[in-house]
Amino acid sequence: MAAVDPHSFTDSTHPLTTHISLSLYFDFPSSTILASTLISLPTTHSGPFTLDTRSLSITSVLDPTTLTPLPFTLTPPIPHPVFGQSLIITLSNHSQVIIISKTSASSSALQWLSPPQTFNQAFPFVYTQCQSIHARSIFPCQDTPAARIRYDAKLNIPRQLFAVMSARHVDRRAPVVGSGEARGACDDSLWCGDDRVVDDFLMEQPIPPYLFAFAVGELGFRDVGPRSRVYSEAAPAVLDAAAREFAGTEDMIRVGEKLFGPYDWERFDLLVLPPSFPYGGMENPRMVFLTPTVIKGDATGAQVVAHELAHSWTGNLITNKTNEHFWLNEGFTTYAERRIVEAVQGEDRAALNIGIGWKGLVDAVERFKDNMEFTKLKTNQEGVDPDEIYSEIPYEKGFQFLWRIERQIGRPAFDEFIKKYIATFKFQSIDTDTFLNFLKANVPGIENQIDLKLWTEGIGIPPDAMEPVSSIYTKIVSLANEFKLGRMPREDEVADWHGQEWELYLENLPKYVEASQALALDARYRLSESKDYEVKVAFLQLAIASKCRDYFGEVEKTLKEVGRMKYLRPLYTALVQGAGKDEEKIFAKRVFSEARDCYHPIAQGVVETILRKYV
């Protein structure tokens, strides 16, 4: 077997899937999905054909023409449990195959929420998070970004619920008796129940499997532009706040088109998920998923939207071939996001964004000081769970690399280069060497001006990386340095600060301060009560490091009300990392045991890894 991807069982000698047709029956009482997956290949194939699965029950594999069973085996879950099991099907001159399967209640891609866990507490809710390698826990597939697929899907759900997908919504209708549309997922009597409805979806552009996404629940929406709606559970307060926060979406799309070329996905809709969503946003094409923590009331949450929008060009149109080249997705997108923010919100706001990112990069390098492999842009991830090494490195070091190229050749030339890059590789999955060869071919001599190998294969932060140059950035960092000398910022100095300014300030304070200093800072500015979680969590990290137990109640509340890993990872780590923290470790274990069921499975795994390492 010749591997295509260190995180996939896909064999390079096998044809890559071109289309998948799904029939999915949602069984909320058991938190499972009954699935029929019709896989289409570009050519006929004979012999073994390997797919990725994880925590799936495979009922049967069928020839779609005759519906006769085909031989298959499931291998043991090796080499790492998160990779799951390979499904090996024996084909004989087949270009299509049907797999009948059932998800488990512990599917790593799915979070099933009971009514009490939702905004309205009236209906259940389920949503996906397939990045990086979790699509295989919903349906068998070649779960690698090297395989780009088109798909159609029939979602059979309870009549009182609604579905959205990273695809065009075609129809909402009653199930058709005797049509065979369930395609073996379940009996017709179940599929065609009186209380069921089918939502049909179609994705006509080839996407990597990690961008497969859906959500099902009691959904409402508000229009925020000619090609954008914001969806959430049908809670008017959430919808109205989201509509205000993201009112500038169309302006950002137009800026993106001006910078990077046409928007190729028709719609750019947004779904605000329940607080358990483990990321800030997920760039699913046509339907971006967002955490409610980005609704801040001052439009700064739109920067997350700018990032996910930027993925429409870098990440979704051009995709890293494997997770070892993740910077091609996130470094480019972070650069593109900041160009959009600069155009829409101004240079100072973009500089603050860069400044926060710079501190995040420094901290991420420190996190991996015992395994510097993961401070490279081009990494070796053989046998490694990509969720466990997720960090700011591909985002911020990737951004710094592209920013360095821009400074070398000038912004106008770099803008033309990016447009040509996107036009050349759209709807393709590429690796770092492909990018570097394209760079050298289109910017002659760049390898003599910038050490490209050091940037992509070297560890740590290259010497020609750069902090932002901005008066507001310099002022905030200077005030943070003065805190070390015992001076707190005056109220007039922070009168016009929003969340980002406070976040940058707190991130640049010493890691350890006296408990009395933390208490005094909070007494004046009420940072522990901030509605902006970036500010609140940055302050709570400071309080934990300062052994200021006055805030443990707020720490517990925060860990129980949100599931975003950007907050869980640093708070749990701050509680348990280091010597002499027996009380904090007991506290962290108790809070996690009580909050665990409210976290998405991916977040559960990340916290469990932290506790295993330090407790």
CB 199 within 8 A of CB 172: yes
The reported pTM is 0.97
Residue 187: how many other CB atoms lie within 10 Å: 11
Six-digit token string for 591: 């809070």
Which pLDDT belongs to residue 484? 85
Write the CA distances from 485 to 198, 479, 481, integer angstroms: 64, 10, 7
Mean pLDDT of 339-356: 95
Q: Which residues are annotated as a binding site for a peptide?
A: 129-131, 278-283, 564-566
pLDDT in tens, 358-410: 999 999 999 999 999 999 999 999 999 999 999 999 999 999 999 999 999 99
pLDDT in tens, 33-77: 999 999 999 999 999 999 999 999 999 999 999 999 999 999 987
Please check whether the domain covering 322-457 is classified as CATH 3.30.460.80: no
Order across the sheet with 281-282: list the strands. Answer: 219-225, 228-233, 269-272, 287-290, 281-282
Cα gap 435→456, rounded to integer Å: 11
What is the full DSSP assignment across 252-286? Answer: HHHHHHHHH---TTS--EEEE--TT-SSSEE--TT
Confidence of residue 79 (pLDDT cuts 50, 70, 90): low
CATH number of 471-614: 1.25.40.320
Q: Which residues are annotated as a binding site?
A: 129-131, 278-283, 307, 311, 330, 564-566
For the chain, the domains span 19-217, 322-457, 471-614
Which pLDDT belongs to residue 1? 63
Q: Which residues are annotated as a binding site for Zn(2+)?
A: 307, 311, 330
Alpha-carbon dihedral sign for residues 352, 357, 358, 362: positive
Amino acid type, 591: V
How, if at all, do strands 149-158 and 196-207 pair?
Answer: antiparallel
Nearest Cα to 453, choosing from 392, 376, 380, 373? 376
What rounded mean pLDDT belongs to the chain? 96
Residue whose pair of structure tokens reads 């052994």 in the numeric block: 547
Residue 89 has pLDDT above 80, yes or no: yes
Q: Which residues are catalytic?
A: 308, 395
Which pLDDT belongs to residue 82? 84
Cα gap 86→143, rounded to integer Å: 11
* Superfamily holding 19-217: tricorn interacting facor f3 domain (2.60.40.1730)
Cα gap 97→184, rounded to integer Å: 13
pLDDT in tens, 252-278: 999 999 999 999 999 999 999 999 999
